[in-house]
């Protein structure tokens, strides 16, 4: 929809019948729009409206009262404040006569009047404010256009006090930022009235001002000259989709346009526009979010979502996973990370993503939920819905943060799934739990990391833990005591036989995932904004995977040895996995020594030591099946052959890596597999959806906001629409809308704010 107020002012043209005047001494303004032919001045002045219009007497010129050489409106009750020295005399603007209003000028509509007077104000360099109007049968028959400094602000003591819950609010809750006084009683204005032929004529023009005009350098700061253009709106939404704030969007506009004066608005104008956009969605945010999910499911059958409403029609739970997420889970879903530490929007709903590790050892998204509280029932619903989306296939391992409600829900829903705690969430709390002395002690972190990460069995861990606790005097630390009680849930030494696939290898991946989600979520975002941001972020994640796939299929990594077994592995493993494999190859070549070999039947046992005080390992190799097992259990936990197995395979003069050592999940071609869900829907990477779905007119306006799938400018098209259309959309959602149940923390903050 077009908005005549949006974008730069159209070019102005001189009025018909007037000769071109000399150049105005002030900077050249935009020209006024070409208006229709004006009747002779006398005919307009002598014209009287028909009696049925009942025009008020206010259309007549005000009779000024002279006070110290100034003209002020008569008012028995208003007492203007004393004027400053700059206001001590009237100012008559200098302007080209072709741009100056005159009594009798005719215009086709009220919009032309406004554009013309704003063009005049732009030349003279003052701001315009829309004044009173009078309507008859919903038709404007009379209106004033005023100087921005007209009138006076109401005194503070005369302001009506707002009420909240029946209690008056006065001085105890003042505005945080008091608005500056800008009005000084200026009388400059034009008055227009409607004529018989439907056009509008200027019936009164007061030219003199009671203040100084803006200098040319500040001309772009005049309020009536400022507006958020279509380009600024597009830039704003594009930046928000990329998680760049309003201030960053304004800086980009300023650089792109070549200066502040060419942007067309201020940073505050852009922020206010974003605020108004949010208010448009305020009463329909949840309904629009759910309609968005429903529309995606209609277009792409592989898209899955479910939601729950309470008895007041408020959204309490929602889960979604697209076809790409479900395919990723089918390929890489042996282990899942579930994190509920993100509070993501205005309503304090908790964002709970399911993530894992793909064939490039990078984080991959399986689906997500939004919930309003962290109760056992909420988590049970999330896990049950997740399994429903994944056709009942539960993961072998799930890693979560430390939450008792979550633990109970997992035990009730995923009976055969191994539950472990996220080491990153535990270890990042370490500095705050030990206090300042140990926090600054560089010698403290080395023993604890060795204890947590370096222990290979429970006995070794318990010995190291006891020694560390005694050395640093942590016997009375309740947090360490509680972590020791939970040791079987987070210390790798207790589940070395469980396939982890790098999900617990280091904290860097957890930090990366945490940064990834925190980059595009925030407590101020509406659900529609949240959906736009997460969609953009996941598109970036998919693009990174496509790039890695392309590199794997069109390039080969450099080899570090002449071993055939290394070359063979490079043909199957992705570059990221092969890099980890090469580290084991290098260690096998440089640091491993065979200490003893014995054989019993088909099983050959090899003891391998190290040149640099590495622990000795025992490798059992079946000479018939070519299978091998090492006591370090690297292959069982990470799915990558260890240096000890590589040395044994080379000793057996094998030029190829046995197939059972090349897991499908680490292969370059794993995502070429065709995956269907239980309904027969092909689960494939998402295709770009069409920007507009061909439906009825009202739904088209609806979808411009609801889908937000490709072009974020659709939102600003709604914001730029006529007020009636926007109001119609809001009213429609208000009638049928799903509301949002406010999160508990948000509700408590609101209650505290009301009490204080």
Rounded to whole angstroms, how far apart are CA atoms 96 and 197?
A: 29
CA 256, distance to chain mean position in Å, is 23
Rounded to whole angstroms, how far apart are CA atoms 700 and 683?
A: 28
CB contact set of 574 (below 8 Å; sequence gap of 6+): 359, 360, 361, 548, 552, 666, 667, 668
Rounded to whole angstroms, how far apart are CA atoms 206 and 557?
A: 80
What is the four-CA torsion angle of 180, 185, 187, 190, rounded to 10 degrees?
40
**594 DSSP β-pair partners:** 608
189-194 β-sheet, strand order:
106-107, 200-206, 189-194, 139-147, 128-136
Give the per-residue pLDDT at 62. 41
CA distances from 1 to 314, 536, 601, 720 (A): 32, 25, 82, 7
Tokens of 94: 């200098």
CB contact set of 296 (below 8 Å; sequence gap of 6+): 303, 305, 322, 689, 709
Tokens of 96: 């080209």
Rounded to whole angstroms, how far apart are CA atoms 108 and 123?
A: 23
Q: Count CA atoms closer than 13 A to 586's CA, side-chain side.
A: 8
**201 DSSP β-pair partners:** 106, 193
CB contact set of 752 (below 8 Å; sequence gap of 6+): none
Give the per-residue pLDDT at 668. 94
Which single residue is written with the structure tokens 């007492």?
79
CA distances from 283 to 139, 319, 525, 629, 738 (A): 30, 21, 14, 61, 9
CB contact set of 526 (below 8 Å; sequence gap of 6+): 278, 281, 282, 285, 345, 346
Tokens of 83: 């004027």
Rounded to whole angstroms, how far apart are CA atoms 202 and 59?
A: 10
Segment holding 604, helix H or strand E:
strand 603-610
Give the per-residue pLDDT at 611. 65
Q: Is 289 in contact with 309 (CB distance < 8 Å)? A: no
Neighbouring CB atoms inside 10 A of 90's CB total 16
Name the 3-class secondary structure at 334: coil
Q: β-pairing, 363-371 with 335-338?
A: unpaired
Rounded to whole angstroms, how far apart are CA atoms 393 and 377?
A: 21
Number of residues that this document lists for the chain: 756
Name the 3-class secondary structure at 387: helix
| Consecutive 10-residue averages of pLDDT for the chain (756 residues) | 41 35 39 40 37 43 37 41 49 76 87 84 79 85 85 61 44 57 80 88 85 73 73 76 74 77 76 70 76 88 91 90 91 90 70 91 92 93 96 92 91 93 86 85 87 89 93 91 92 86 59 64 71 80 90 94 95 95 94 91 92 80 93 92 95 92 94 82 61 35 38 46 45 49 51 43
């Amino acid at each position: 929809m077009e908005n005549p107020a949006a974008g730069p002012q159209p070019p102005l043209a001189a009025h018909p019948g007037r000769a071109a005047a000399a150049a105005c001494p002030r900077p050249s303004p935009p020209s006024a729009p070409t208006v229709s032919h004006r009747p002779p001045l006398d005919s307009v002045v002598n014209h009287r409206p028909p009696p049925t219009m009942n025009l008020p007497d206010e259309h007549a010129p005000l009779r000024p009262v002279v006070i110290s050489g100034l003209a002020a409106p008569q008012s028995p009750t208003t007492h203007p404040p004393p004027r400053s020295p700059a206001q001590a005399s009237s100012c008559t603007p200098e302007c080209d006569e072709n741009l100056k209003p005159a009594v009798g000028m005719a215009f086709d509509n009220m919009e032309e009047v406004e554009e013309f007077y704003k063009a005049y104000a732009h030349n003279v360099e003052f701001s315009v404010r829309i004044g009173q109007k009078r309507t008859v049968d919903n038709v404007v028959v009379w209106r004033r256009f005023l100087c921005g400094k007209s009138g006076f602000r109401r005194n503070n003591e005369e302001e009506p006090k707002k009420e909240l819950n029946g209690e008056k609010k006065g001085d105890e809750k003042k505005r945080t930022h008091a608005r500056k006084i800008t009005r000084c009683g200026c009388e400059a204005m034009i008055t227009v009235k409607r004529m018989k032929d439907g056009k509008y004529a200027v019936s009164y023009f007061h030219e003199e001002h009671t203040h100084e005009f803006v200098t040319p350098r500040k001309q772009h700061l005049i309020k009536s000259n400022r507006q958020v253009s279509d380009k600024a709106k597009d830039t704003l939404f594009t930046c928000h989709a990329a998680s760049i704030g309003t201030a960053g969007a304004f800086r980009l506009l300023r650089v792109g346009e070549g200066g502040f004066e060419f942007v067309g608005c201020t940073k505050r104008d852009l922020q206010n526009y974003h605020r108004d956009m949010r208010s448009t969605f305020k009463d329909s945010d949840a309904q629009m979010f759910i309609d968005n999910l429903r529309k995606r499911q209609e277009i792409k059958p592989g898209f899955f979502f479910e939601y729950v409403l309470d008895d007041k029609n408020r959204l309490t739970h929602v889960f979604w996973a697209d076809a790409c997420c479900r395919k990723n889970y089918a390929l890489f879903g042996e282990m899942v990370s579930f994190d509920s530490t993100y509070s993501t929007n205005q309503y304090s709903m908790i964002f709970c993503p399911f993530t894992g590790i793909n064939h490039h050892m990078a984080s991959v998204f399986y689906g997500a939920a939004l919930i309003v509280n962290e109760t056992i029932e909420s988590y049970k619903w999330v896990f049950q819905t997740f399994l429903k989306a994944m056709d009942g296939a539960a993961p072998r391992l799930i890693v979560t943060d430390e939450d008792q409600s979550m633990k109970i829900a997992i035990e009730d829903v995923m009976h055969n799934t191994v539950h472990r705690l996220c080491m990153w969430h535990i270890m990042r709390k370490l500095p705050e739990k030990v206090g300042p002395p140990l926090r600054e002690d560089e010698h403290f972190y080395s023993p604890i990391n060795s204890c947590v990460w370096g222990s290979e069995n429970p006995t070794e861990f318990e010995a190291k833990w006891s020694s560390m606790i005694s050395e640093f005097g942590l016997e009375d630390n309740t947090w360490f005591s509680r972590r020791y009680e939970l040791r079987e849930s987070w210390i790798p030494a207790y589940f070395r036989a469980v396939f982890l696939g790098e999900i617990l290898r280091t904290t860097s991946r957890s930090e990366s995932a945490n940064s990834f989600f925190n980059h595009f979520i925030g407590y101020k975002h509406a659900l529609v904004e949240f959906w736009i941001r997460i969609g953009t972020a996941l598109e970036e994640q998919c693009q990174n995977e496509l790039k890695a796939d392309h590199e794997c299929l069109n390039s080969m990594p450099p080899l570090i040895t002449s071993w055939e077994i290394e070359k063979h592995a490079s043909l199957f493993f992705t570059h990221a996995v092969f890099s980890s494999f090469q580290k084991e190859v290098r260690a096998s070549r440089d640091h491993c020594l065979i200490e003893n070999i014995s054989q019993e039947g088909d099983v050959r046992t090899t003891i391998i030591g190290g040149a640099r005080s590495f622990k000795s390992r025992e490798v059992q190799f079946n000479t018939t099946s070519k299978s091998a097992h090492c006591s370090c259990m690297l292959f069982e936990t990470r799915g990558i052959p260890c240096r000890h197995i590589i040395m044994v395979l080379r000793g057996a003069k094998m030029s190829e890596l046995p197939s059972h050592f090349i897991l499908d999940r680490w292969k370059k071609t794993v995502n070429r597999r065709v995956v269907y869900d239980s309904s027969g829907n092909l689960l494939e990477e998402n295709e770009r959806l069409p920007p507009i779905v061909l439906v009825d007119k009202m739904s088209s306006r609806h979808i411009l906001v609801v889908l937000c799938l490709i072009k974020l400018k659709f939102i600003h098209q709604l914001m730029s629409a006529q007020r009636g259309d926007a109001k119609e959309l809001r009213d429609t959602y208000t009638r049928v809308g799903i509301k949002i149940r406010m999160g508990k923390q948000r509700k408590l903050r609101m209650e505290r704010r009301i009490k204080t």
